[in-house]
Amino acid sequence: MTTKMFGTGVARVEDQRFLRGHGTYADDLLVDDPRLLHAAVLRSPHAHARILDINVDDVLEVDGVVAVWTYDDLTDAMAEPLPLLIPHPTLTHGRTQYALAKDEVNYVGEAIAFVVATDRYVAEDALDRIRVSYETLPAVVGIDAARKAERLVHDDVPGNVAARMEQNTGDVEAALARSPHRLSLDWDIERSACMPMEGRGVVGRWDPDTSRLTVWSSTQTSTGVRGCISAKLGLDLAAVDVITPDVGGGFGVKINHPWPEELLVPLAAKTLGVPVKFTEDRREHFISSAHERAQQHHVEVGFDDDGRIIGLDVRFWHDNGAYIPYGLIVPIVASTQLLGPYKPEVYRVVFDSLYTNTVIVTPYRGAGRPQGCFVMERTIDAIAKALGKDRVEVRRANFIQPDEFPYDQGLIFQDGRELEYDSGNYPALLDKLLTLIDWDGFPAYQAEMAAQGRRVGIGLACYVEGTGAGPYEGAHVHIETSGKVKVATGLTTQGQGHQTSFAQIVADTLGVRFEDVEITTGDTRKMPYAVGTFASRAAVMSGSAIHLAALRAKEKALRIAAEALEVDEADLEIADGVVGVKGTDAQIDLGTVAVLSNPLRYAFDEASKRATQFSVGDPGKPPVAEDDEPGLEGKDFYSPSRSTFASGMHAAILETDPDTAEITILKYAVVHDCGNVINPMIVEGQIHGGVAQGIGGALYERMAYDDSGQLLNASYMDFLMPFVTEIPDSIAIDHQETPSPLNPLGIKGAGEAGVIPVSAVFAAAIEDAERIPITAMPISPSELFELRRHHNS
């Protein structure tokens, strides 16, 4: 009997390959092709400047340089700005950059020229030969400068405002007016970035004999990249294949597309007729990919004696960088997911999305939720403090209750659908967390530590995460005559372990051996209809689609097997790849069923002999019935009406050093509800990684721009991504499984969750240890030291 795979912590089968160094990333491709050329990009050294002249006369003199492109060499659609991927009615002043800068640059790192040479070393030598004359302009750096708007990023965008958006659930002024208590609060989150270990990478190969383009990109959406290349290069979609090789991390930055290089590499490959590769280096990743997080929030909150929120009025300013190709997703997510598991009587949010002369802002794991969570959770802490109440009790007073689902928050979410929570149980989740962190025992511990001169503090934060956004994903399941199962789904994989988790679904649904299932992702040749891997959607979307497609394949297998075995379908069961008649020894393996599904004229091996014309079929009927197809396959798509909402709560105990202000994590606890769990080991791995990234965002990482728009810490030496030594050795984790009613497997997304509440938790714990309000994150020991001085003076 097949063991149930769904819900089991199966070890990731892909790890053998990755840990042994056998992964194949974009930079590993075509290395043996002697024709392969390498690209390098000249990037703006100025944050804001007009380009007066670009002189490339000396470039082609460099031995090994093959070609150079500037804006003037681009034609037709390539000469138009890059697409604004997600338009929105309130995005009245959307601006995107050109593949190569036209007349003006708006951030340090913006692409200006593209050089192709025999190797990357030569290509970089050539960059030094390009002479660009600039007229530098004053730079707008940071939200304060953007709001003041004394200088403009784009001449035709007044106030630097790309969009102003408002949502409300009622008359917030009236709600505030009738509240017995009111607070006015300001919260601030700084810039950070995803920083995947592998940067961006693109390889393009043009086949002149067939006029076809093959592109490999380290992307989170191969279908999106394919569509852009087809549109920009004027190629039929059918002439373009985009393949996603192994991807060394995405975390959001690789969902934005097309990057200039994703168009310029194919253009160069097609123009030159030879393969071309671009591999982004670390400095480039810092200054020419994407950042996130920076927001300033002002909150007016009114509440009753129990801390129940009556009116919540949030005004915030979002730094979207120099351009806004990914639209308003981040601020919309921040403004809606801010509410978390709570139900204020009336909520209003207004935000401005602002241009600055810095790297563009696109979703980074959490995508606005860490900011929203920070604002909401810190606001609740402030309410508790104002009322002299326990922070836990104020949260309980504001929770949506288990019998209130589905719960409509009365807002429109990032996918254009209602912000309606499908299921959850927040009070029970909080109980689990309090047990895990020993909340009730903490005051005694804190007093005990204080007696030793040690400062410890505890903090907690709750969040709700909309996961599995549409529009759809699909899957194709093919059972070969060997009995092996080949599955294709179109979204991409950048470390999630899809070969393992998706194969678990197929093994259970189809009744085949886990090791007989092979999953292909992100290859437009195998599945041209797909969206991408972001928004914690892969398991929900492709997991469901794969399940549905496997059911279709199973349906057909049972039909053919029933015919072959001359029994009723209802009497059949499939286990370990064998279709058997319940209660008897009669059986037929799936490989044979696959043989029978495909009537053949020619026998090419022993197995296929059984499917040839003198062996099978009723001579009175067509070999393939009118409503049937040859082959044992199933294909289906999953398209949900709206997102499904996962939830979680974190708590931490921190220690702050009274002398050095260093911050040490003593204990970290996570409770998490992502519905039915496919693979608990993978989910816990996602939580570990998310928390680690959250620790980076809370205590270490920031983008240190100076006033002129130079990024001062564009290296791993000065951008302080935490090492394993900065992450706690263990994170206490407990799961709760509240199935989603929206999909056939009852699952919710888990990819981003771990990162969301970390800054809120740490700010609360530091505040508890220090008795100093913590209103801005991240925080360094030096900043804590300065806060102490300021507070004590």
Q: Which residues bind other proteins (CB under 8 A)?
A: 120-121, 124-125, 128, 281-284, 659-662, 700, 704, 712-713, 717-718, 720, 722-723, 725-726, 780-782, 785-786, 789
Smaller CB distance to other proteins: residue 196 or 224?
196
Smaller CB distance to other proteins: residue 201 or 532?
201
**Omega of the bond leading into 640 within 30 degrees of 0 (cis):** no
Closest CA to 141 of 117, 116, 106: 106
Closest CA to 505 of 5, 1, 12, 9: 5
> Residue 106 CB, nearest distance to other proteins (Å)?
23
**Core vs surface per residue 34-65: b (16+ CB within 10 A) or e:** eebbbbbbbbbebbbbebeebebeebeebeeb
**Core vs surface per residue 604-634: b (16+ CB within 10 A) or e:** eeeeeeebbeeeeeeeeeebeeeeeeeebbb
Q: Round to whole Å and give the CA distance between 559 and 566.
A: 10
Computed from CA positions of residues 656, 657, 663, 664, in that sequence, does the dihedral angle turn out positive or negative?
negative
636 φ, ψ (degrees, to nearest 5): -160, 165
Smaller CB distance to other proteins: residue 92 or 660?
660
Smaller CB distance to other proteins: residue 632 or 663?
663
> Residue 485 CB, nearest distance to other proteins (Å)?
42
Q: How many other C-beta atoms lie within 10 A of the C-beta of residue 121?
A: 12
Smaller CB distance to other proteins: residue 128 or 186?
128
> Residue 111 CB, nearest distance to other proteins (Å)?
16
Smaller CB distance to other proteins: residue 127 or 146?
127
Smaller CB distance to other proteins: residue 264 or 287?
287
Q: Round to whole Å and give the CA distance between 316 and 333.
A: 13
> Residue 32 CB, nearest distance to other proteins (Å)?
20
Q: Name residue, tokens 């319940």.
A: 582
Smaller CB distance to other proteins: residue 117 or 550?
117
* Distance from chain centroid for Cα 34: 36
Smaller CB distance to other proteins: residue 261 or 752?
261
Encoded amino acid at 412, one letter = I
> Residue 295 CB, nearest distance to other proteins (Å)?
21
CB burial of residue 773 (10 Å; 0-12, 13-18, 19+): middle
DSSP state of 27: G
> Residue 714 CB, nearest distance to other proteins (Å)?
10
Closest CA to 697 of 781, 654, 757: 757
Q: Can you tell me whether residue 575 is helix, strand or coil?
A: strand
> Residue 780 CB, nearest distance to other proteins (Å)?
7
Q: Which helix (H) or strand (E) holds 559?
A: helix 544-565
* Residues 414/469, Cβ–Cβ less than 8 Å: yes
Give Cβ neighbours of residue 604 (< 8 Å, ≥ 6 apart): none
Strands 240-243 and 212-217: parallel
Q: Round to whole Å and give the CA distance between 440 and 432.
A: 12
Encoded amino acid at 362, one letter = T
> Residue 42 CB, nearest distance to other proteins (Å)?
14
CA atoms within 13 A on the CB side of 175: 20
Smaller CB distance to other proteins: residue 178 or 282?
282
Smaller CB distance to other proteins: residue 307 or 778?
778
Q: Round to whole Å and give the CA distance between 776 and 42.
A: 36
> Residue 159 CB, nearest distance to other proteins (Å)?
30
> Residue 725 CB, nearest distance to other proteins (Å)?
4
Q: Round to whole Å and give the CA distance between 503 and 507.
A: 6
> Which structure tokens are listed for 553?
């394949």
Q: In sequence order, what are the beta bridge partners of 589? A: 578
> Residue 41 CB, nearest distance to other proteins (Å)?
12
Q: Round to whole Å and give the CA distance between 750 and 697.
A: 19
Encoded amino acid at 317, one letter = W
* Distance from chain centroid for Cα 785: 35
Smaller CB distance to other proteins: residue 306 or 662?
662
> Residue 722 CB, nearest distance to other proteins (Å)?
6
> Residue 292 CB, nearest distance to other proteins (Å)?
19
Closest CA to 496 of 152, 122, 697, 220: 220
> Which structure tokens are listed for 636?
């289906």
> Residue 724 CB, nearest distance to other proteins (Å)?
9
Smaller CB distance to other proteins: residue 400 or 787?
787
Phi-psi region of 33 (alpha: psi -120 to 50; beta: other; left: phi over 0): beta
Smaller CB distance to other proteins: residue 301 or 727?
727
* Residues 545/474, Cβ–Cβ less than 8 Å: yes
Q: At what angle do helices 781-792 and 758-770 cross, to 10 degrees?
A: 40
* Residues 319/351, Cβ–Cβ less than 8 Å: no
Smaller CB distance to other proteins: residue 174 or 712?
712
> Residue 66 CB, nearest distance to other proteins (Å)?
17
> Residue 284 CB, nearest distance to other proteins (Å)?
8
Smaller CB distance to other proteins: residue 45 or 739?
45
> Residue 141 CB, nearest distance to other proteins (Å)?
14
Smaller CB distance to other proteins: residue 566 or 659?
659
> Residue 713 CB, nearest distance to other proteins (Å)?
6
Q: Round to whole Å and give the CA distance between 73 and 113.
A: 10
Strands 276-279 and 37-43: parallel
CA angle 311, 313, 315 (to 5 degrees): 175
Q: Round to whole Å and give the CA distance between 6 and 502.
A: 9
Smaller CB distance to other proteins: residue 615 or 708?
708
